[in-house]
Structure 1
Amino acid sequence: MAFISIIGLNYAPEPIGIGPYTQGWATSLAQRGHRVQVICGAPYYPGWSLAAGYKNRFAGRVEDGVEVLRVPHYIPARPTAARRMAHYASFAANAARAVHRQGSDFRPDAVVAIAPALLAAPVALRLARKAGALSWLHIQDFEVGAALATSLLPASLANPASRFERSAIKRFDHVSTIAPAMLDLARSKGAGAAQLHELRNWAEPGVGAAGIRPEDMRAELGLPARKIALYSGNLARKQGIDLILDTAERTRNRADLHFVVCGEGPAVTLVEQAAEALPNLHYRPLQPRSRLPELLAVADIHMLPQLPGAADLVLPSKLANMLASGRPVVTSADPGTALAREVAGCGIVVSTNDREAFANAITALADDQDRRETLGNEAKIRANERWSRTGLLDAFGDALESALQDHRQ
């Protein structure tokens, strides 16, 4: 048995984003017999507000066999570039305080840092060095590049931010990320090839299962009996939500095709206003993760917009569940990117700059049930092959345990 410390801002009960995957890793390691401690923030995502029932302060308890230590951090209601930096920095500072409070006897065998927030990576590195522990960085997205692609980071900060990112990445013993193209990017930023691991996010086991009744969810949400193009997740600039709104506007005269956006985040007001003006666009709040199988089954088509330049900086975790639901995906991603390769054969890929092509892809699938079924069947097969929860968690556990064995020798 090893003592494993995981330092990552996001954790359960956050319903989407990084939190569910960090929790999955932690609980899986605990089930393998390890002592696992997670240093994380108070839950706030994707609504950028403190979750009900939580206080933004230091607090610890055992959750599903994992020692969870929450630290306070700044939560901006409107996350501008400067406020995001303060948000990440406040978590890093208080994570360091949490480590210090545990005293000189706090000596994990392995320290795993989750990025975002990369600003907390030095905390993990210092702890690993002090304890003589294995250090491991898992990159869910390259936040510097993503911030630049979405104009959240001023160009004047690009060079210092990139230098910090490169310095952090090359100092870890092992680095993992969630897609082949992101492995290549990590390698280009200093990660050693022998210590690189592809560790994908997984599809939820119940998604796409037999016996799901989408009509019940459709009735609960008050949706019309029409073809549905669905987006569910975070509503922010990085997600390219305006592309969905533009497509709904272009097709507003089609009575047989409706667009549904379920989510929370900084762009929620924009979506609500558009839904009030467009008869074919419906906004609904983010649904509980336990209802994800029913929600995704409501869709005839899944929409996955992406901004230019972001497709190899982050592979959206929602893609796995979209594919597992057995529905085709329409995405905006440039040829050769990780996102384009994952969707090819399971949906339609259009250029990130071509709004007309995105709308045309949606309408083409809406008009062709046989094509929807063919692409949806292939999507489900691919999800089973590449995004099995059990297989991916076992792969992470095996890789970490092997690295620990080598580190001890």
Structure 2
Amino acid sequence: MNIVLYGINYSPELTGIGKYSGEMGEWLQRSGHQVSVITAPPYYPEWRVKEGFTGSRWHQADENGVRVTRCPLYVPREVNSLKRLLHLSSFALSSLFPLIAQLRNKPDLVILVAPTLFCAPGAWLLSKLSGATSVLHIQDYEVDALFGLGLAKPGILKRFAYATERFLLRRFDYLSTISSGMLKRAKEKGVPENRLVFFPNWSETHRFKDIRPCPDLLRKLGVPDGRRVLLYSGNMGDKQGLEQLIDAAERLQGNEDMFFLLVGEGSGKQRLLEKAKGLQLANVAFAPLQPYEDLPVLLASADVHLVVQKRGAADAVLPSKLTNILAVGGNAVITADSDTTLGLLCLDHPGIAVCIEPESVDALLTGINQAMKMPARNAIAQSYASEYLDKESILQRFIEEVSSDVAAR
């Protein structure tokens, strides 16, 4: 098939959506499909364009066998609601012409990865003009996150945003998303059940088996010898509410056994650094994102993994970091209400992780103590990852399901 993969984030971004979209594009190419990617230069989670790329002009190149067109966009230095909207809309506008130019390649399948829904009209138009099957893959529900996290005020804007979202979601032949809770939300937004596809984020599970801790790596990242490591690794933005980790570290200052290691980048990192410095915390270290090849060792070297989100993010966004934590057999403390996808995961698979109330430092400390008592390698988590999160199985099932009607068009 001739496939257009369209989305603002793509490889070589190391975390979140860009990582998964990059792996999907390369997998499709290796599987014999002709893949064209329309994306932006890598900028996430640092919120600055990566060295070697430009954010001010269009650029096309073959990247690991995939034809990638990168479109300019506005990347704000400080992120707020207005600047985020300008950021997303700038990519939707700059990418529209390269997207419609794909008509000459007669695509069979158009896959839009959201965020951002600003790109949905263009993706839908391309699919209609070319007769291609259209897929909207939801990694985050932008509108739910925007209002659920309090990033925008309710009112006329909220009603308009939800009405527009419902209209766009129903235009695509298929809507896929990454969790059962997010599929349920799609049905509540009016998407017919026969158009819904479960397409979870995955793990290269074979890369995370039988990995031993590496004290040298921890020492390099600022962890003193002999400490038990409480690791947060990923984006440091608005959705996570990571201030509670600093509050927990302050409460545990007298415990010389535990040490917080925060690895990542994002719009909220400077705020966290300043808070930790102001409290003069000696049990917290910050480190930049690590290369993907070092990720298995980093995850295997932690005693407890902190998968933290604000309450309003539940089932609107799903922490992609969890797949590899489970694959390595890590013991995770997850902040989620019991009726969300993550809460139900812990309920349906006892022992897979510790689920606690969101936005509570007391609950976080209790969860950490529980996780510390678990076996060093979580066999339940590894078994779940092997059965449900294997990359090859997930991608093969997805492409078979969404391409089932391509031959009939």
TM-score higher than 0.5 here? yes
Question: Structure 1: which 5+ residue stretches go unaligned?
Answer: none
The reply on whether 1:404 has 2:406 as its aligned counterpart is: yes
SS in 1 for 2:337: coil
When residues 282 and 399 of structure 1 are mapped into structure 2, their CA distance, relative to the original with a 3 A threshold, is same
Fraction of identical pairs, as percent = 36
When residues 221 and 133 of structure 1 are mapped into structure 2, their CA distance, relative to the original with a 3 A threshold, is same
Give the corresponding residue for 1:222. 222
TM-aligned CA deviation for residue 208 of structure 1: 3.0
The residue identity in structure 2 corresponding to 1:146 is: A
SS in 2 for 1:253: coil
TM-aligned CA deviation for residue 327 of structure 1: 1.6
Give the corresponding residue for 1:292. 295
When residues 279 and 189 of structure 1 are mapped into structure 2, their CA distance, relative to the original with a 3 A threshold, is same
Kept in 2, the 8 Å contact 1:231–1:302? The answer is yes
Mean Cα deviation higher: 181-190 or 204-213: 204-213
Kept in 2, the 8 Å contact 1:240–1:307? The answer is yes
Mean Cα deviation higher: 145-154 or 329-338: 145-154
When residues 79 and 53 of structure 1 are mapped into structure 2, their CA distance, relative to the original with a 3 A threshold, is same
> Structure 1 CA distance, aligned partners of 2:143 and 2:162?
7
Give the corresponding residue for 2:235. 234
The residue identity in structure 2 corresponding to 1:231 is: Y
> Structure 2 CA distance, aligned partners of 1:137 and 1:99?
15
When residues 211 and 372 of structure 1 are mapped into structure 2, their CA distance, relative to the original with a 3 A threshold, is closer
Kept in 1, the 8 Å contact 2:333–2:371? The answer is no
> Structure 2 CA distance, aligned partners of 1:304 and 1:207?
21
TM-score normalised to the size of structure 1? 0.94
TM-aligned CA deviation for residue 287 of structure 1: 1.0
> Structure 1 CA distance, aligned partners of 2:211 and 2:80?
43
Give the corresponding residue for 2:24. 25
Give the corresponding residue for 1:359. 365
Kept in 1, the 8 Å contact 2:244–2:359? The answer is no
Kept in 1, the 8 Å contact 2:211–2:297? The answer is no
The reply on whether 1:45 has 2:33 as its aligned counterpart is: no
> Structure 1 CA distance, aligned partners of 2:281 and 2:346?
29
Mean Cα deviation higher: 226-235 or 376-385: 376-385
SS in 2 for 1:335: coil
The residue identity in structure 2 corresponding to 1:108 is: P
Give the corresponding residue for 1:258. 259
The residue identity in structure 1 corresponding to 2:217 is: M
Give the corresponding residue for 1:395. 397
Kept in 2, the 8 Å contact 1:327–1:372? The answer is no
Give the corresponding residue for 2:63. 63
Mean Cα deviation higher: 82-91 or 61-70: 61-70
Pairs within 5 Å for 1:135-154: 135-154=134-153
> Structure 1 CA distance, aligned partners of 2:329 and 2:205?
13
SS in 2 for 1:404: coil
> Structure 1 CA distance, aligned partners of 2:206 and 2:218?
18
> Structure 1 CA distance, aligned partners of 2:17 and 2:98?
21
SS in 1 for 2:305: strand
SS in 2 for 1:105: helix
> Structure 2 CA distance, aligned partners of 1:398 and 1:7?
19
The residue identity in structure 1 corresponding to 2:50 is: A
> Structure 1 CA distance, aligned partners of 2:198 and 2:139?
11
TM-score normalised to the size of structure 2? 0.94
> Structure 2 CA distance, aligned partners of 1:364 and 1:105?
58
Give the corresponding residue for 2:179. 179
SS in 2 for 1:237: coil
> Structure 1 CA distance, aligned partners of 2:315 and 2:89?
25
TM-aligned CA deviation for residue 206 of structure 1: 5.2
Give the corresponding residue for 2:304. 301
Pairs within 5 Å for 1:166-205: 166-205=166-205
Aligned residues: 401
Kept in 1, the 8 Å contact 2:140–2:317? The answer is yes
When residues 264 and 210 of structure 1 are mapped into structure 2, their CA distance, relative to the original with a 3 A threshold, is same
When residues 200 and 403 of structure 1 are mapped into structure 2, their CA distance, relative to the original with a 3 A threshold, is farther
The residue identity in structure 1 corresponding to 2:248 is: T
TM-aligned CA deviation for residue 213 of structure 1: 4.3
Pairs within 5 Å for 1:103-182: 105-156=104-155, 157-182=157-182
The residue identity in structure 1 corresponding to 2:256 is: A
When residues 213 and 329 of structure 1 are mapped into structure 2, their CA distance, relative to the original with a 3 A threshold, is closer
Kept in 1, the 8 Å contact 2:99–2:123? The answer is no
Kept in 2, the 8 Å contact 1:207–1:292? The answer is no
TM-aligned CA deviation for residue 400 of structure 1: 2.8
TM-aligned CA deviation for residue 106 of structure 1: 4.2
Root mean square deviation, CA, Å: 1.6
TM-aligned CA deviation for residue 381 of structure 1: 1.2
> Structure 2 CA distance, aligned partners of 1:193 and 1:288?
39
Give the corresponding residue for 2:341. 338
> Structure 2 CA distance, aligned partners of 1:324 and 1:239?
22
> Structure 1 CA distance, aligned partners of 2:170 and 2:267?
33
When residues 403 and 342 of structure 1 are mapped into structure 2, their CA distance, relative to the original with a 3 A threshold, is farther
TM-aligned CA deviation for residue 309 of structure 1: 2.4
Deviations 1:283-309 (A, max 9, x none): 111111221111111110000111112
Kept in 1, the 8 Å contact 2:307–2:333? The answer is yes
Q: Of residues 297, 318, 323 in structure 1, which corresponds to 2:321? A: 318
When residues 207 and 267 of structure 1 are mapped into structure 2, their CA distance, relative to the original with a 3 A threshold, is farther
Deviations 1:147-168 (A, max 9, x none): 1122222323211111111111
Kept in 1, the 8 Å contact 2:222–2:285? The answer is no
Question: Structure 2: which 5+ residue stretches go unaligned?
Answer: none
TM-aligned CA deviation for residue 278 of structure 1: 0.8
TM-aligned CA deviation for residue 207 of structure 1: 4.7
Kept in 1, the 8 Å contact 2:332–2:371? The answer is no
TM-aligned CA deviation for residue 395 of structure 1: 1.3
The residue identity in structure 2 corresponding to 1:69 is: T
The residue identity in structure 1 corresponding to 2:228 is: K
